[in-house]
Chains A and B, each alone.
Chain A
Amino acid sequence: MNKLRTDLLIAAPGFLLLMVGFLIPVAGILLLGVRDANGVLTATHLSRFLTDPFYLEIAWRTVKLSLIITALCIVAGFPLAYIMARGSARLRLWLIISITLPLMTSVVVRTFGWMVLLGRGGLIPDTLNMLGLVRRNYSLMQTETAVVLGMTQVLFPFMVLSILGVVMRIDIRLEEASRVMGCTFLKSLRLVVLPLAIPGVIAGSLLVFTLSASYFITPSLLGGARLPVLAGSIYETATRTLDWPFAAAQSIILVVGVLMLLIPYARLSRRANG
C-alpha cells in the first residue's frame, strides 16, 4: 500500500499534465465536432464536410499522397534498413546519424531546403532543363511531386528505423541456411528477410501513413493553396475562419479515417506475426 502511494505520488505531476494538456483538449475536440451551439448531438459539421465536393477532394488528395509517400518509404527504406542491419557498426552509426539529422531538424527548415531545390531556378528544375526534359523557368513548386518529395524525406527515417529494429533481430544464420539450401543472395532477401521483416514494414507504414496524413506545414509550403490537404484545411479553418466546431469535425474525420485504414492493416500485422 505504502509502495503504491509512493508510486502514485511520483507519477502525479505526469497525470496532471496528461489530463490538462492532452486528454481534456483531445476529448474536447471530439465533443465539439459532434455537438451544436446548445450542446445537442448533431452531425451537421461532419455532413458539411462529407457532402461538399471541395472537401471530399481534399480528403482524397490526403489519402492519395499519404499512400504514395508510404509506398515510397517502404521501397526506399527496406534496402537501407537491411544494409544498416548487416553492415558494420560504424556504417550503421553514420547512417543513423544521417537519417536522424533531418528528423530532428525543424520542419520549417527542412521544407525551406526543398523550396530552394525545387523552385524556379532551383537545382532540380535547372538540371531537368539542361537535360532537355522541361522548359526554362520550370518550377516544381506547387506540385504534388514537391509535396511527396519533401514529406518522404522527413518520414522515411521512421520507416527505416522500424524496419531496422526487426531486421536486427533476424538471425543471420537463417540467411546463411537459405544460401546453403540454394538461394541466391537476392532470393534469400525476398524469401527469408522480407517475410520476416513484414512486422517492421507494417509498423513503419502505420507510422508514416498517420504522420503524412496529419502534416500540414510541408504540404502548405511546397504544395501551396492550390493543393490543400486535410490537415492544412483544419489549420485554415481554425486560424483563418475561426470556425472551431468545423475544424473539430475535420479532426474527427482525420482520426477516424486514419483508424479505418489502420485497423485492418494492424490486423494484417498480427497475422504476419503468427
Chain B
Amino acid sequence: MVESAPTSVRIAAVIYLVAIVAFVLGPLAVVVGVSFTAGDYITFPPQGLSLRWYEAVLSSSVYMGAAITSLKLAVVVTISATIIGASVATVIHRGRLPGTSVLSALFLAPLVLPTIIFALGLLIFWSAYFGRTSFAALWIGHTVIAVPYVIRTTLAVLSTSDRYLEEAARTMGAGPWKAILHVVVPQAMPGIAAGAFFAFNISFDEAIVSLFLRSPEVITLPIQIYTQLEYSPDPSIAAASALMIGLTVVLIFVIDRVLGIQRVAG
C-alpha cells in the first residue's frame, strides 16, 4: 500500500514526521541541553559547556535527600505493586470468580479516574484516620496507580499463553500453589517484569499524588523540582531533570527488551 502512495503525499509525510518528533522530543532535548550550561541562568542554547550543575545537584543535600526518598519509595512501590498486580492479573485471567469483568474494571479504574480526585480523597482519608501524611501514605497512593499497569502487562502475556498448562501441571501432580509457582508465574514472567519496571518508573516520576500528600519529611524528586520551578529556578533543575530523563530512557529500553514496547503500548 505504501508503495502506491503518491510522491507528494510521501514528502508531506516525511516533513510531518520530522515536525511531530521535534514537537514531542524537543522539550526533553532542551532540558538536557540546558543542563550542560556553564552559565548561571537557564538559557537555551546553553552558554558554554560544563558539568557544574550536575556537580551542584550531586552535592546538594536537598536534591540528594529527595532522590533517596524517591528511590526508596519507588523500590517499595515496585515490590508491592508487582506482587498485587501479578496476583490480581492471574485471577482475572482465570475468570473463575463471579463478576470478573466488573472486578477488572474496578482494578483498572485508577487509570481512568482523574488522579487528582483520588489524590485528594487519599489526603482527606489519611488525615481523618492517621493524621499527618507520611511515607506510608505515598506508598499506598503510588501502589494504587502502578497496579493497573502491572495487571495490563501481565494480562498481555497471559492472554497469549496456553490456558491448559496449569491444568496439565495439576495432572502431573502439582498442587494449586505449586502449579502457580512453577507454571503460571514463569509463563507470565516477561509481563510481570515489564510491569515492575513500569511501576518503578511511575512511582519515581509521579507528581500529583506526591504533591497532595507531601509533608516536609517526604519530598520526592519531582516535588523538589516543582518547588524549585515555582520559586527559584536555576540550571540545577535541568541537571536533575536530565538525570530523570536518562533513567526513563534506560527503563524504556529495558521494558522493550523484556516484553516489547509495542505490546505494552498497544
Q: Which residues of A contact B (CB under 8 A)?
A: 2-4, 6-8, 10-11, 13-14, 17-18, 20-29, 32, 76, 79-80, 83, 86-87, 92-93, 95-102, 104-117, 121-123, 150, 153, 156-157, 161, 164-165, 168, 172, 175-176, 179, 184-186, 207, 210-211, 213-214, 216-217, 221, 231, 234-235, 238-239, 244, 247-248, 251, 254-255, 258
A101 and B31 within 8 A (CB): no
A192 CB to closest chain B CB (Å) equals: 11
Beta-carbon nearest neighbor of A250 in chain B: B120
Q: Of A10, A109, A161, A213, which is within 8 A of B91 by CB? A: A10
Beta-carbon nearest neighbor of A258 in chain B: B114
Q: Which residues of chain B have C-beta atoms less than 8 A from A153's C-beta?
A: 23-24, 27
B252 and A97 within 8 A (CB): yes
Beta-carbon nearest neighbor of A186 in chain B: B9
Q: Which residues of chain B have C-beta atoms less than 8 A from A216's C-beta?
A: 116, 208
A108 and B249 within 8 A (CB): no
B116 and A24 within 8 A (CB): no
A240 CB to closest chain B CB (Å) equals: 12
Per-residue interface assignment for chain B, residues 237 to 259, with 1 indicating a CB less than 8 Å from any chain A CB and 0 otherwise: 11001001100110110001000
Determine which residue in B114, B180, B233, B266 has the highest number of CB atoms from chain A within 10 A of its CB, and name it. Answer: B114
What are 28 A-to-B residue pairs whose CB atoms are below 8 Å?
A3-B176, A6-B176, A18-B144, A21-B122, A22-B109, A25-B125, A29-B121, A79-B16, A105-B28, A106-B205, A106-B241, A108-B207, A113-B241, A115-B229, A116-B34, A116-B42, A116-B44, A116-B238, A117-B26, A117-B27, A122-B44, A150-B27, A156-B24, A175-B1, A217-B207, A217-B208, A238-B120, A248-B124
B83 CB to closest chain A CB (Å) equals: 7
Q: Which 9 A-B pairs have the closest CB atoms?
A: A113-B27, A25-B121, A214-B114, A106-B205, A14-B88, A109-B241, A21-B144, A25-B125, A29-B121
Give Cα A87 to B17, complex, Å. Answer: 12
Q: Which residues of chain B have C-beta atoms less than 8 A from A112's C-beta?
A: 27, 31, 225, 229, 237-238, 241
A251 and B237 within 8 A (CB): no
Interface: B265 (CB within 8 A): yes
B121 and A100 within 8 A (CB): no
* CB neighbors of A among B11-51 (8 A): 13, 16-17, 20-21, 23-31, 34, 42-44
Q: Which residues of chain B have C-beta atoms less than 8 A from A113's C-beta?
A: 26-31, 241
